[in-house]
Every structure is written in C-alpha cells, then in structure tokens.
Structure 1
C-alpha cells in the first residue's frame, strides 16, 4: 500500500483576492434641486452624498484601497433632465503592482437635455509594476454641459519612486447626440520613466491632466485659462463650445498648483471640498 507521504502532490497556487465593485447613480430634478433618482452600489464601491444647495454631489469610494491585477470596477451615472450632477473621489486612486492580470475600470456617463455633468476624480497614482486598463465614455444630449478632468501621476517623485515597469491603457470618448465629439487615448508599457523623458511624450514630466469643458461659455474662458497654464500646458477651442486642456507637470504638487485655479474658474467656484482636503 502506498502511504500518503509517498504521493508527490503538486501544491495548488494560492488564489489572490480580487476586488470587484459597481456603482449606478442617476439624478432627477425636485423643485430647484438635483436629487437622487436611482442609486445602487456593490462590492468595493461606495458613495457619500454631501449636502448641497442645488447640485447633487457624489463622492465615490473604492473601499479596497487601490487597484491591482484582476480587479474590476464599473461606474454608471446619468444626469437627468435639467439636473446638475457632480462625481468625484474621496482621495487619489492608486494602481499597485499587479503580480498577475490587469485591473480594469470602466466608466459610462450620460447627461440628458439641459443637464450639467461634472466628472472630477482626483489623481490616479501609478506604482511600479501596475497594470491598468481604463475607459471613460460620456454621452451628452445636444444642449448638455460637461466639465471633465483626468489627472494621472506616474509614481511619486517625493518618495524617490522610479516607474521603470508599468502598463497603462487609457481611453476617453465623448459623444453628443450619438456623434463622436472628442476622443483621446494613451498606451504606455514597460519603462514608463524612460518613455516620459522623451521630448515628444512628456519631456521628463511625471504628472499629466486632461480636461474638457463643454459649455456655451467655453470660448469666453479660453484666454483666462491659457493665462493660468505653465509653459508645459496648452488649451485649445476644438468647437465653439468645447475647450480642451492638456497640462504636464514634474510632480503632483505642481500639477495641482496650476490645475486647481482652472477647475475653480470652470466650475464656477463649486469644486468639491474633497479636492482641498
């Protein structure tokens, strides 16, 4: 008889825990206020709703503490007719080293007729070894307004981090009345620090922000926004009501120093309090 000690059994590879989360939110108008119409969250995704006089503000929270390989996060939100909906985050999101798999974040937003939608997440911080696939798609009605920002930090320079191994695939698409209005895509893989050092990519900067402002008053803000930008930033009027901004900075502190005054101006001084904590 063969004893159990004589049987060479392969050890099963331990399964790493994966975070999954989903958030669904919609707004409606109640008298002069924007209020919750529908709300549901599951898994790692949570939300807080600070009191507001008019707009509906949602602070999204990823309770898993960050993103790593195999994580799945999905956000769905709709600003109902004639409502004002703002979505932000409690703090910076972190994409940590992925030992296996890719973290995926998928966001789908809508703004109905007469609505104002603000997508204002705080920074995404990429750590060495991170692997992230992220997409943002926004559908706007013909007269809907939008303020969108996506800041990204490639490592933390103050901590001496060098992002010599990471992967980021990031896509943004905005459509109006079903037609493409704005598209942007980033794909970086391998030694990101070396790639960002190239003049044609980031010229050594390790922090970037993409901002889109869609509003009938967009053109009126162009000169003032340009005056707030450093030499490593630029602003263009892509349509009479579409202002696009790209900002590069050496680190997160410098990025915020230039970005916050622009967001204050374009938001009408209604930037979420969580941005200043």
Structure 2
C-alpha cells in the first residue's frame, strides 16, 4: 500500500514518494542518538544492546505485568526539538522478544528558523517479536517545521503497533495551526527470505495554508490528528471493521484502511481527527486495548507518567 494522507488542502501540496525513493536532505549534525536492542532471557525481554549519546536516553526498564514484556521510556533531557536538530533512533526486537516503547512526555517542536527538526527511526523485528510504540503526543508550535522518517523491517510472524497524536501548540495570539508543517513517513518492509517487500509507504503531511485555517477545507474543521498503524498476521477486514465501530463512540472523524497481504501478514492504518488530545488518546487506547486483550491477554495500557 502506498498512501499519502494529504491533510493540507492548500495549493502548495507535496505528492507521494514512490517505493524505492529516498529522502535526500543535507547532512546535519546529530544532536541525539539512541540504540536499543531487546532479546529474551529466562522468559523475560531484556536489553541486549543499549547505547545513547547527546540529548536522547532511556530510563531503567519496567515490567507492567507478568507477561515478560519490557517497557522502556525514551527521554530528551533538552525538552524539545529545535531548528536543524536531528535525532536518530535504532530499535531492534529480536526473535520472540516483546518491547513497549514510550516517551516521558510530549515531543515539543519549537520555532525552527533556517531548517526543520528531524527524527530518523530504524526498527527491525525478528520472528515472533512484538513492538508497541506509543509516544506521548507531538506538539508543533508557532513557526515549527518537523519531519519524522521511520523505516521498519519486520518478519512476517512479528507484531507491530504504533500509535501517535499530533496537536498544534499554543501561540501568543491564541490562533491554532501556526506551525509551518509536520511530515510523518513510515516505510514498512516485510522480510521474505533474502528479500524485502514493501508492505506500506504511509505519508502524512500537515501543512496549514496561510490565512484562515478553521474551515472545512483544512482537516475538516478539526485541530488534532491521531494515527494507528498495526502490522500482524491476525489483521483482517473483520478487525478493521471492529476498530471502526469502536471509533464511532468517540467525538472524532475516523477512517480505517488495510494493506495487501505479504507472506501472510497484513497492515492496518487508522486515521482520526478530533479537537482533543485526550479524546484521541482514549480512542487509540481503546483500539490498542482490544489488540492487547485478544492477542496477548493483557490489560489496556495505563502509563502513569505525571
């Protein structure tokens, strides 16, 4: 599936990046780097590789239940992303391991004069591995430009769940959508023998037009966007329909789509528009709660950070 969610309905629109294309940006210094590898030891998932430098690190691991799933919290001691900042994150979940990865607080992108802030993430999942990636919301403030590029390689028998909320930050005049743009790009490949097949190229661009951005021509009059990406052999149309029904109980406008099936695994993408971070977090939590209970017998996530 090659999809682009063009939230911007203005005249200056960026089109799809096709399979095999690359993002060519001038190389800039890396402000923070994090590497985390997780494997199974004595029935529990533990860190087998851990490295950090600059403005990224992880807190000590937690085990939220008896499943053996390890929870790591990413921290940016600098507190925000600024202009020309580059953060690089490399995560590998080895065969049979189970990782829940979240952030300590919201990712805040402030003014980025001269150049955008960027996060580059590489994810590799082994056979039977599972990754739940559930960061706190991304907040883009006035005159912010942010790009998030994730390249994901997974085994057909692994499980990937990624949930994220994007919200506009406060501005002095009280107006919404004062940021310049937010781009989120997920490139998901399935390993089949010696080859990698593209399962989904999912592009999201939010670029507010100049002038009035409160009408139905931009984000259908909503201010916040939630996104859920699931890749698993158990994903099917019945699950997509069920998550769509769950979303109807919330004050949000939601759509769900499926990828093609490659080597027995399928992807699901849910997009939801609302005017509330809390509403979207609750909606995404309800959807991921269904997956946790049905597939792993776990309770819904309750990440108490504050």
List aligned pairs for 1:1-277, cutoff 5 A: 20-48=31-59, 49-52=61-64, 53=66, 54-156=68-170, 160-177=174-191, 178-189=196-207, 191=209, 194=212, 197-199=215-217, 201-219=218-236, 220-230=238-248, 232-239=253-260, 241-268=266-293, 269-270=298-299, 272-274=301-303, 277=306
Cα distance in 2 between the residues matched to 1:91 and 1:132: 17
CA shift at 1:237, angstroms?
3.2
Deviation sequence 1:192-229 (CA, Å, 0-9, x none): 78457444x51011111221112233235333311211
Number of matched residues?
Answer: 258
Alignment-derived partner of residue 11 in structure 1? none
- 8 Å CA contact 1:89–1:274 kept in 2: the answer is no
Alignment gaps of 5+ in structure 2 = 1-28
- Closer, same or farther: CA 184–195 of 1 in aligned 2, 3 Å: farther
CA shift at 1:110, angstroms?
0.6
Cα distance in 1 between the residues matched to 2:161 and 2:101: 10
Deviation sequence 1:74-105 (CA, Å, 0-9, x none): 10000001111121111111111123322111
CA shift at 1:272, angstroms?
4.8
Q: Give the SS at the match of 1:160.
A: coil
Deviation sequence 1:102-144 (CA, Å, 0-9, x none): 2111011110111111121111011111111221111101211
Q: TM-score, normalised by structure 2?
A: 0.76
- 8 Å CA contact 1:213–1:266 kept in 2: the answer is no
Q: Give the SS at the match of 1:221.
A: helix
C-alpha RMSD of the superposition: 2.5
- Closer, same or farther: CA 64–161 of 1 in aligned 2, 3 Å: farther
Report which structure shows greater RCO (CA 8 Å, sep ≥6).
2
Alignment gaps of 5+ in structure 1 = 1-17
Q: Give the SS at the match of 1:68.
A: coil
Q: TM-score, normalised by structure 1?
A: 0.84
Deviation sequence 1:60-82 (CA, Å, 0-9, x none): 01111111102111100000011
- Closer, same or farther: CA 156–251 of 1 in aligned 2, 3 Å: farther
- 8 Å CA contact 1:91–1:274 kept in 2: the answer is no
CA shift at 1:164, angstroms?
3.1
